[in-house]
Amino acid sequence: NGNNSRTKQNGSENLSRHLPDIIIIGVRKGGTRALLEMLRLHRSIAAAQSELHFFDSDVRYQQGLEWYTSQMPLSGPDQLTVEKTPAYFTSIDAPDRILRMNPSVRLLLIVRDPVDRVLSDYTQVFHNQLQKHKLTQPIEDLLLRDGGLNLSYKAVNRSVYYPHVQRWLRVFPRDSFHIVDGDALIRNPLTEMKRVERFLRLEPQISEENFYFNRTKGFYCLKEQGHERCLHESKGRPHPSVAPEILQKLCKYFREPNRKFFELVGRTFDWKG
Ligand code: A3P
């Protein structure tokens, strides 16, 4: 348990819980867990382990900041606290509520090729349903309606990033955000994590030694004080195969929303389409 090892490192004195300095706001299936776990490699970071849904759920929000604080990890005086809940990105209420908590909070948004994100989202729902002994429709049935793309399919909808970014940028200045390239984080985690360290003004600590490529998993796994660990088996699952012409439709559909997203954030990504 990360919190316990932190306690040992710092001694148990001077530890307290405080509101997050950093929030990973999304996107769902963008690589939010990988980002959180990789950030935790840094000794100046204390991370809340579960998704708290504090700012996107009225019931949770009404429990108040005191409750929210009680859910945070113990941290030392030199540590920054981070929380991640991917649902914040698409929540109408989250930006204002987070601003009220701390206008200088630092926000991390990890994005991924919208087409891959659709497949990942489908796979997540498929497995959730399976656990409940329920079946999900085949992906192609969900993606298509009357021969065209089914634009009301949630997984497609959630890959249209720009309206959400627009909403966040009405509340926070652009420099409150750092955007992590989720596809690059998969291929080369160190480079992406160095950028995150710089944005957070953390002493550079995360190094090559912290990562190794696990051939069985097909992803990078983490090394911390000689201890190796991969992300949970639910991270990095195979996606269903989809007919090329349907993928083509998706690529075409996302082209314009992607362009709007690039314009808003002042950066382009190497996405299909
Ligand atoms: P897939 O399982 O569809 O491949 P989130 O944590 O936001 O749900 O994102 C899950 C995604 O994180 C995974 O989606 C996977 O592609 C990505 N990911 C990035 N780095 C990873 C890593 N080192 N190990 C496993 N998954 C990783």
> ipTM of this complex > 0.90?
yes
The pLDDT value recorded for residue 12 is: 64
34: Cβ below 6 Å to ligand 1? yes
Is 56 part of a structural domain of the chain? yes
The domain total for the chain is: 1
Nearest to 267 by CA among 156, 165, 168: 165
Query: pTM of the entire structure?
Result: 0.95
Q: What is the CATH number of the domain that holds 21?
A: 3.40.50.300
The string of pLDDT tens digits covering residues 122-166 is 999 999 999 999 999 999 999 999 989 999 999 999 999 999 999
Average pLDDT over residues 224-240: 96
Question: Whose CA is closest to atom 2 on ligand 1?
Answer: 236
What percent of the chain clears pLDDT 70, i.e. is strictly above it? Answer: 96
| DSSP letter assigned to residue 73 | P
Q: Is residue 218 part of a domain?
A: yes
Q: Please work out whether the CB of residue 97 comes within 6 Å of at least one atom of ligand 1.
A: no
75 found inside a domain: yes
The full DSSP string for 226-254 is: TEEEPPPTTSSPPPPP--HHHHHHHHHHH
What pLDDT digit, counting tens, does each position of 90-131 carry?
999 999 999 999 999 999 999 999 999 999 999 999 999 999
The answer to whether residue 258 is domain-embedded is: no
Which structural domain range is residue 21 located in? 2-114+158-232
Residue 6 domain flag: yes
In a domain, 119, yes or no: no
Q: What is the DSSP code (8-state) at residue 92?
A: S
Rg (C-alpha) for the chain, rounded Å, is 19
Q: Residues with Cβ < 8 Å from 251, sequence gap 6 or more?
A: 115, 272, 273
Q: Which helix (DSSP H) or strand (DSSP E) does residue 107 occupy?
A: strand 106-111
Q: Select the more confidently predicted residue: 41 or 1.
A: 41
Q: Is residue 110 part of a domain?
A: yes
Asked whether residue 259 is domain-assigned, the answer is: no
